Amino acid sequence: MATAGITSDMGRDQFMQLLVTQMRNQNPLQPIGDSEFIAQLAQFSSLEGIEKLNANFSDLLALQQLTQGANLVGRTVLFDQLDDAALGKGVVSAVAMSNGKLRVVVDGSLVPLDRVQGIVK
């Protein structure tokens, strides 16, 4: 997600630099037409709208992950252990967001949600 933000910021900055350079270097006898200028502003407006949509989508995804994690609280889960080939097993007591990733607390240890392999009845 950070990569998408960097790309969008660079796109916006580059677009504005290109527009300013174009305005400075245009032929005074043949200035940029109104329709061309409006089209460029519309592209810039579209870029900003897409950036806002991406931000909202990221928030929605984080909320969905929190909901998935919350549904596991009080449940016994099986999860991949990093240091052992065997599956770990334990009760989820809480959900935490750490470095932008959702983790469940299983018997006092933080386990990334993507390592949870199943739920035991």
pLDDT digits (tens, 9 = 90+) for 50-81: 888 988 898 888 888 888 888 999 999 999 98
In this structure, the answer to whether residues 56 and 82 fall within a common structural domain is no
How do beta strands 109-112 and 116-120 pair? unpaired
In this structure, the answer to whether residues 6 and 59 fall within a common structural domain is yes
pLDDT reading at 109 higher than 50 = yes
Q: pTM for this structure?
A: 0.53
Beta-carbon-side half-sphere exposure of residue 87 (alpha carbons within 13 Å): 12
In this structure, the answer to whether residues 64 and 98 fall within a common structural domain is no
In this structure, the answer to whether residues 64 and 95 fall within a common structural domain is no
In this structure, the answer to whether residues 78 and 64 fall within a common structural domain is no
pLDDT reading at 32 higher than 80 = no
In CATH, what number is assigned to the domain containing residue 111? 2.30.30
Average pLDDT, the chain: 81
Q: Which of 58, 57, 72, 61 shows the shortest CA–CA distance to 103?
A: 72
**Number of domains comprising the chain:** 2
Q: What is the residue range of 20's domain?
A: 2-68
**Ranges assigned E (strand) in 5-108:** 76-80, 87-98, 101-106
